[in-house]
Amino acid sequence: MRILVTGGAGFIGSALIRHLLNDTKHQVLNLDKLTYAGNLESLASVADNPRYQFLQADIVDQAAVGAALAQFQPDAIMHLAAESHVDRSIDGPAAFIQTNIVGTYSLLEASRAYWSGLPEARKQAFRFHHISTDEVYGDLHGVDDLFSESTPYAPSSPYSASKAASDHLVRAWQRTYGLPVLLTNCSNNYGPYHFPEKLIPLVILNALDGKPLPVYGNGQQVRDWLYVEDHARALLKVVSEGRVGETYNIGGHNEQKNLHVVESICALLDELAPRQADRGAAAGSQAGSYKELITFVQDRPGHDQRYAIDAGKIERELGWKPEETFASGLRKTVNWYLANLDWCRRVQDGSYQRERLGALKEHDA
Ligand SMILES: NC(=O)c1ccc[n+]([C@@H]2O[C@H](COP(=O)([O-])OP(=O)(O)OC[C@H]3O[C@@H](n4cnc5c(N)ncnc54)[C@H](O)[C@@H]3O)[C@@H](O)[C@H]2O)c1
């Protein structure tokens, strides 16, 4: 297949592209605006692959997307481009409305125009796969109830409301115009190349710097965690074998309280990169555990209490199951960050963006 991936320079998009290029024969066009969250350094290992192309473009720009579709002639679009950080959506919702809602609308319209003009066999085979979140379902207050594909939408934050709106648009484009769509709603991802503003990388890097490890409220909020490479495998299954018009929930069967996630990272770091004794401490004195850095901070407004996914449909219909447990995935993740502190520092000090701007200017000149 020829697959156009939007948002391929982001956390999940880059994992998907590495999977597509390393484990399949598919051709990939990565269309990404390169916001602060887009980092081409996450694709360095595959950037020279002859089956990979990159185009810097905004999904809101229908003409640019239309030209890319006409030129690349994809068999499938996998749509991941989004503003994705809940805290940023609370501080400044406008970008979320623009990219997640208006951008998805523009992409749907450009896709519809392209798809309408395809010969019948290619038209039948074409797929528009919209990648979304379990946060559209709101939150759960029981201890063992789960989100299913028919759970009513009840988003809480500007982020989840904008993703919910985009899901509705995608379904409407199928119902109204017959565009062959697929949707997936996934739980929290974690793993390599995760932007350091998100909980797991933030805690790893703050701990290594001896900074406080912020935990919202009492830390009892429950999230289901999925290793990002398991998500990439699920997405490939759905775009290749999913039934048109269907939604598949994707989850890791790994429900964890936020405080437990932070404590588990501390325990791994105590083992893999123990704290150095404070300067001035008596020779031979033991440095404490990273857990001592945990600091409870004021809860996020509208904070959802619990997310949990019933991923039975994708398991039954498509035979997908996560390969990582939370323990195995978290150990891989902590090891990855310890081995790739350079990648992290370049994100933290902004050099990944400055050098990119320089390279793009040179390219334009
Ligand atoms: N991270 C999670 O835990 C999670 C869980 C479930 C679903 N999702 C969904 O998966 C998708 C990817 O999430 P992520 O964590 O990789 O996000 P991310 O923030 O790491 O990456 C988003 C990417 O989209 C690009 N982008 C943003 N606006 C754009 C625009 N207007 N035009 C073109 N490109 C644009 C950015 O440059 C970046 O490369 C999102 O749609 C998100 O809602 C994420």
pTM summary value:
0.94
- The DSSP call for residue 98 is I
Neighbours of 116 (CB within 10 A): 11
The per-residue pLDDT for range 196-228, each reduced to its tens digit, is 888 999 999 999 999 999 999 999 999 999 999
CA nearest ligand 1 atom 11, residue: 80
The type of residue at 187 is S
Cα distance between residue 281 and residue 293, in whole Å: 18
The answer to whether position 104 is within a domain reads yes
Residues 256 and 225: their CA atoms lie apart, in Å, by 7
Q: Which of 17-26, 195-204, 296-305, 312-321 has the lowest mean pLDDT?
A: 296-305
Q: Are strands 222-227 and 255-257 parallel, antiparallel or unpaired?
A: antiparallel
The answer to whether position 12 is within a domain reads yes
Give a yes or no: residue 271 inside a domain.
Answer: no
Measured in angstroms, how far is the CA atom of residue 129 from the centroid of ligand 1? 14
Which residue in 191, 179, 152, 278 sits closest to 13, CA to CA? 191
- Characterize the bridge pairing of strands 213-216 and 188-190: unpaired
Contacts of 342 (CB under 8 A, 6+ apart): none
Residue identifier of the C-alpha nearest atom 30 of ligand 1: 58
CATH code: domain of residue 99: 3.40.50.720
Domain that holds residue 102: 2-190+226-253+302-326+350-364
- Residue 111 inside a domain? The answer is yes
Q: How many helices (H) and strands (E) does the chain have?
A: 14, 12
Mean pLDDT computed over 322-327:
96
Q: DSSP alpha helices (H): ranges in 117-189?
A: 120-125, 158-177
The answer to the question of residue 287 being in a domain is: no
Length of the chain counted residue by residue:
365
Mutate to test the pocket of ligand 1, among 84, 163, 238 (most ligand atoms within 8 A of CB): 84
333 in any annotated domain: no
State how many domains the chain has: 1
pLDDT in tens, 242-259: 999 999 999 988 999 999
H or E element at residue 222: strand 222-227
pLDDT over threshold 80, residue 281: no
161 domain residue, yes or no: yes
Asked if residue 87 is part of any domain, the answer here is yes
Distance CA 268, CA 272 (A): 6
Residues with CB under 6 A from ligand 1: 6-7, 9-13, 32-35, 37-38, 58-60, 80-84, 99, 103, 131-133, 163, 186, 188-189, 195
Cα 121 to middle of ligand 1, angstroms = 31
- Least Cα distance to 85 among 203, 196, 9 occurs for 196
